[in-house]
Amino acid sequence: MAVETRDTHGTGTLPQIKGVKDVPYDELFVSGHRTCQGCESALVMRHMVKASGPRTIVLGSTGCMYVANTTYYTTPWVVPWMHTQLGASGSAALGTAAGLKVLMRKGKIKDEKINVIAFCGDGGGADMGIGAISATLTHKEYNSLILLYDNESYANTDIQLSSQTPYGAVTTFSPSGTAKRLMHTRWKKNMPGMMAAGHPESRYIAAGCAAYAVDLMNKIRKALEIGGPTFVHTLDPCPKGWDYHPQYSQELGHLAVETGIWPLYEVMDGVCNLTGPTRQIAEGRKKRKPVYEYLKRQGRFAHFLDEDVEHFQATVDKMWTEWLIPGVIPFTVPAKDQAILKIDKKPLHEAQKTA
């Protein structure tokens, strides 16, 4: 079933995938890249074009997914691909979408649906390029998807701290030392929640993870079918930056979601829908795992003492117990205002608390 569309953009050519048997066989991101073993960002690229299909133009800002994917004379991209400047994914998406529209209107190229996807890393998207992404999300007349692949550092230039680096993590800019155990004490910026809350005319904004491949591919398809500018943010375990054996990438993606650190959701036409295990946790059908299960698996948190883990856990608990929408919208509403704001704050399911 195709996503219902308001305008003529959705062609129904990207139906929702019901299960793995439904996943397209064709690979449009193949061999010829030099990403690290176990790189989940590379898997995001593969799933992204698998979901979008061959009538897609991919634009990519500087970072691992540019550099490691387009080493001289080799490339894994089967679809047309273009590099854009580190902070320019938003501008590249908008410019390309507008250019295609004009060429089609003037009859210079066939009038057909062409998917425009611009990807960026967390450094290029959540830090440097956030202004251009925000602007693009307000231009509702142009169809494009911005995909932010978040490996939680400026990985390509040797793992520098970004606004997406988690609290306390070691990076080359935040080494743990004897004088200061934690060099980085800021909480991760809530990028997908901010994009959703701040751009009501963008019809589709989602948070995903390649460890939940079908969920992610369906989010990409919805974003491309619905029309207008859309945004998908993925959390991508990175063996090099997070310091773990490459065989555990998928497992860490699962743990990020199961601990409630990275909630999976989509906001479609202003309606927020929790997906995958995040929904199961919110409905009380699954217990949230303690964050320690996730942190202890990664060398970047090896210096954590009990008090650091406790702080991390308490902050994630707050996301689940006090935020207006768990993990999505960080407002708390005082009891005296719940009635006038028409908010029915039900008591938390037992299972929503940690195991």
239 binds, among ligand SF4, ligand TPP, Mg ion, none (CB under 5 to 8 A by kind): ligand SF4
User: Using CB under 6 A, which of 46, 240, 286, 300 touches ligand SF4?
Assistant: 240
Q: What is the rounded CA–CA span in Å between residue 27 and residue 47?
A: 9
56 binds ligand SF4 (CB under 6 A): no
Collapsed DSSP state (helix, strand, coil) of residue 92 = helix
186 and 162 Cβ atoms separated by less than 8 Å: no
Closer CB to ligand TPP, 47 or 288, in the complex: 47
320 and 352 Cβ atoms separated by less than 8 Å: yes
Kindly state the smallest distance separating residue 173's Cβ from Mg ion, in Å: 13
Regarding beta strands 56-61 and 81-84, do their DSSP bridges make them parallel or antiparallel, or are they unpaired? parallel
209 binds ligand SF4 (CB under 6 A): no
Closer CB to ligand TPP, 154 or 320, in the complex: 154
Residues 120-139: x where in contact with Mg ion by CB under 5 A, - otherwise, as a string? -xxx----------------
240 binds, among ligand TPP, ligand SF4, Mg ion, none (CB under 5 to 8 A by kind): ligand SF4
155 binds Mg ion (CB under 5 A): yes
Stretch that binds ligand SF4, among 24-32, 102-110, 224-232, 239-247 (CB under 6 A): 239-247
User: Helix 40-52 crosses helix 213-226 at what angle (to 10 degrees)?
Assistant: 50
24 and 213 Cβ atoms separated by less than 8 Å: no
Question: In Å, how far are 49, 68, 204, 276 from 271, measured between CA atoms?
Answer: 26, 37, 9, 16
Kindly state the smallest distance separating residue 63's Cβ from ligand SF4, in Å: 8
User: Using CB under 5 A, which of 91, 144, 151, 275 touches Mg ion?
Assistant: 151
56 and 117 Cβ atoms separated by less than 8 Å: yes
Binding site for ligand TPP (CB under 6 A): 62-65, 86, 121-124, 151, 153-157, 162
Question: In Å, how far are 71, 220, 225, 281, 342 from 16, measured between CA atoms?
Answer: 34, 10, 10, 23, 33
Kindly state the smallest distance separating residue 39's Cβ from ligand SF4, in Å: 3
Nearest residue to ligand TPP on Cβ basis? 121
* DSSP character string of 287-353: PBPPTHHHHTT-GGGTT--HHHHHHHHHHHHHHHHTSSBTTTB-----HHHHTTTT---PPPPGGGS
Residues 146-185: x where in contact with ligand SF4 by CB under 6 A, - otherwise, as a string? -----x---x------------------------------
User: Using CB under 6 A, which of 3, 44, 68, 191 touches ligand SF4?
Assistant: 68
Q: What is the rounded CA–CA span in Å between residue 128 and residue 132?
A: 9
Kindly state the smallest distance separating residue 131's Cβ from ligand TPP, in Å: 14
Closer CB to ligand TPP, 65 or 282, in the complex: 65
Give the binding site for ligand SF4 (CB under 6 A): 35-36, 39, 41, 64, 68, 151, 155, 238-241
